[in-house]
Amino acid sequence: MPVISVPHAFNEDDLYVDLRSIIGHSLFLKCEGFNFAGSIKLKAAVEMVEAAERDGALTPESILVESSSGNLGVALSMIAASKGYRFLCVTDSRGNLSTRMMMEALGSQVHMIAGQEANGGYLGARIEYVRALCAADSRYVWLSQYTNPSNWKAHYRRTAPEIARQFPQLDVLFVGAGTTGTLMGCARFFREWHRPVRVVAVDSVGSVSFGGPPGRRMIPGLGMSMRPPLLDESYVDEVIRVEEADTVRTCHRLARRGFVFGGSTGTVVSGATDWLDRHDARDLTAVAVGPDLGERYLDTIYRASWLRDLYGDDVLSSEGIAADSWAPSPAPPPRWDRELELQNGERESKQHPQLEDRKT
């Protein structure tokens, strides 16, 4: 029985799901969301914070600041709360509301960047805001997940060895590409492994990480609007790009079998499924890294109105899983119940204005 005193001391490292019955191929999904931060970003956050403490860059008077679309922000919020640091997360409107609320619940501040760039992204504006903040006040310490080698070292030291221990005959590994910390750490480790392992990077369509035109990306997590400074393509054997509509379909396909995963995991599984469909995978040992769980996406990729607005009415039709397609319409409540419901809704909106964000 694990007994811990700090939240980042616990992480389930050895949980895998065999997706054969769902996708038709043997694919072992490494589930990285079972920790108090809810994602694989906990590993990088711990490594970067502890390196900054060892180097003396981070002191009790410091204020941590980082640009994040969500998961790293939650991980740093949790660590900051545990260690007594102040933390400011600089994010943008594509982030999930529940993620922002989680950071605020942990005592962090969240700054939203509103201005979108010409390439359709927000990353450059987020980074410029962080740089200006650090230049104006020396208390701010920017860990810079995009350039910090501790990002990839966390996965070289932990994630990849965990996979190697469980799958010594590994043939192909699918890893999502965001900052490319997970990708680079795993790729570097398996380049030194006792047998060749094919490393397949999974990116989002519209991301410019591996070249190609920028495009709209509404699901936070994977993809970048600039080339990742940590990326060394010589370690990557192949790149698969996944349309966001396919990410959504894969997430719902998994959810209909009881597994509610996040957008990053849906993208990786979609890309891996496509690759396995196109190759003779009968004798291959294949593993995919699943970065996150799905609870923080309930307001987005698991919400019918959000999907319809962005991807159209038929985004789920190919999987036969259109939301509420089989459910009977609920009977309207009695008039007095409906009036009471409206009154309660008005009162809640006045007391908690942020709830209005959930309704729109």
Backbone angles phi, psi at 214, to 5 degrees: -70, 155
Q: State the Cα angle at 57 between 54 and 63, rounded to 5°.
A: 120
User: pLDDT by residue (tens digit) across 36-68?
Assistant: 999 999 999 999 999 999 999 999 999 999 999
pLDDT of residue 220: 86
Better pLDDT: 7 or 320: 7
Single-letter residue type at 323 = A
For residue 288, give the 3-state DSSP assignment. Answer: strand
pLDDT, greater one: 250 or 118: 250
The pLDDT score that the predictor gives to residue 356 is 41
Q: Over pLDDT 70: what percentage of the chain?
A: 86
312, two tokens = 């159209």
**CA separation, residue 347 to residues 222, 299, 337, 359 (Å):** 38, 22, 15, 14
Give the chain's mean pLDDT. Answer: 89
Q: What is the pLDDT averaged over residues 81-103?
A: 92
Residue 102 has pLDDT above 90, yes or no: yes
pLDDT at 313 (0 to 100): 87
DSSP class per residue in 225-286: SS--TT--GGG-SEEEEE-HHHHHHHHHHHHTTT--B-HHHHHHHHHHHHHHHHS--TT--E
First to last CA, the chain: 43
pLDDT at 314 (0 to 100): 87
